[in-house]
Amino acid sequence: MKSIIELNAGLKKQIDEIAEVAGYLWQRGWAERNGGNISVNVTDLIPEEAKSFASLQQVKLPKAFNIIANNYFYVTGTGKRMRYVATKPMENGAIIRLNETGDAYDIIADQLVIPTSELASHLSMHSYMREFRDPNMKVVCHTHPTDLIALTHNKRFLEPNVMARILWSMIPESRIVVPRGIGIVPYNVPGTMELADATILELEKHDVVMWEKHGTLAVGDDIIETFDMIDTLSKSAQIYLLSKQAGFEPEGMTNQQLDDLVDLFNLPE
């Protein structure tokens, strides 16, 4: 049987990029077993002939997502390993279509892969981005970066703006690549709507959110860019932790040095 991605070059390119990033998540050591999940709104890339594909399974959602009704998403499968998403994205993820009221979805391709346990959370974020941020924001990428998670185990870093200020000040790139800072979400059980709702509040101001003692989540237009944001913050976290291990407090860039970047790189205030 032909894969849906063979029917549209744009869709194939998108899935190839997801697979590329899944490989990076694994190589970075952020994706133990089935750790992490990815979803991308691929509605504009679905070939006409695939719209009549039979449903492999219909699943009810815990609430109606009417803003993204009839939209299509690629989502990684629950329990699936990123290292295998990297090599076989259509065997470790699926394309789903929300129904006309947005309260259920059909798995339409290629195989009966059950979406991530965080699907309702991802869909709330897609719905929020479409309605209140920017309809071009099509990607939600959640992963478990060891160094960033370590920092969330210290309450001091969870105070407002502390995490962003420290990580920004380690290297100019952090200020430039993650200009909207970092949202902090207190610990909550993975996959719950409580975790999703708390995350959405942070997405008003930020593109990257840290989940206490769990992981990070980044949203954006482009899967590669979401990876880059987390990767850059991870580098800053490593510099911070390495300095501490070497026995000194890293000086960090000054407020003036950080502020100078805002004008120079035309960053959002």
Residue 116 interacts, among ligand 13P, Zn ion, none and using kind-specific CB cut-offs from 5 to 8 Å, with ligand 13P
Closest CB to ligand 13P among residues 81, 97: 81
* Residue with nearest beta carbon to Zn ion: 215
164 - beta bridge partners? none
- Decide if 20 contacts 137 (C-beta within 8 A): no
Closest CB to Zn ion among residues 129, 141: 141
x/- contact string, 21-60, with ligand 13P (CB under 6 A)?
Answer: -------------xxxx-----------------------
CB of 143 to ligand 13P, least distance (A): 8
Closest CB to ligand 13P among residues 86, 170: 86
Q: Which two tokens stand for residue 22?
A: 């899944």
Nearest partner of 25 among 226, 170, 182, 166, judged by Cα: 226
Residue 116 binds to ligand 13P (criterion: CB under 6 A):
yes
CB of 171 to ligand 13P, least distance (A): 27
Residue 169 binds to ligand 13P (criterion: CB under 6 A):
no
How long is the chain? Answer: 269
Residue 34 interacts, among ligand 13P, Zn ion, none and using kind-specific CB cut-offs from 5 to 8 Å, with ligand 13P
Is-catalytic flag, 118?
yes
Residue 250 interacts, among Zn ion, ligand 13P, none and using kind-specific CB cut-offs from 5 to 8 Å, with none
- Decide if 154 contacts 77 (C-beta within 8 A): no
Nearest partner of 123 among 99, 147, 146, 154, judged by Cα: 99
In the set 118, 173, 202, 204, the catalytic residue is 118
Closest CB to ligand 13P among residues 36, 179: 36
CB of 114 to ligand 13P, least distance (A): 9
Residue 79 interacts, among Zn ion, ligand 13P, none and using kind-specific CB cut-offs from 5 to 8 Å, with ligand 13P
> Which positions from 49 through 108 interact with ligand 13P, judged by CB under 6 A?
78-79
Distance CA 203, CA 262 (A): 20
- Decide if 235 contacts 177 (C-beta within 8 A): no
Residue 121 binds to ligand 13P (criterion: CB under 6 A):
no
Please report, as ranges, the residues that interact with Zn ion according to CB under 5 A.
215
Distance CA 177, CA 267 (A): 9
Among 23, 47, 172, 190, binds ligand 13P (CB under 6 A): 190
Residue-wise burial string across 78-113, b where 16 or more C-beta atoms lie within 10 A, e elsewhere: eebbbebbbeebbebbbbbbbbeebebbbbbbbeeb
Q: Calculate the alpha carbon distances from 152 to 52, 203, 248 in Å.
A: 46, 18, 20
Q: Calculate ∠ Cα 141-146-150, nearest 5°.
A: 115
Instruction: Point out which residues bind ligand 13P (CB under 6 A).
Output: 34-37, 78-79, 116-118, 190
Active site residues: 118
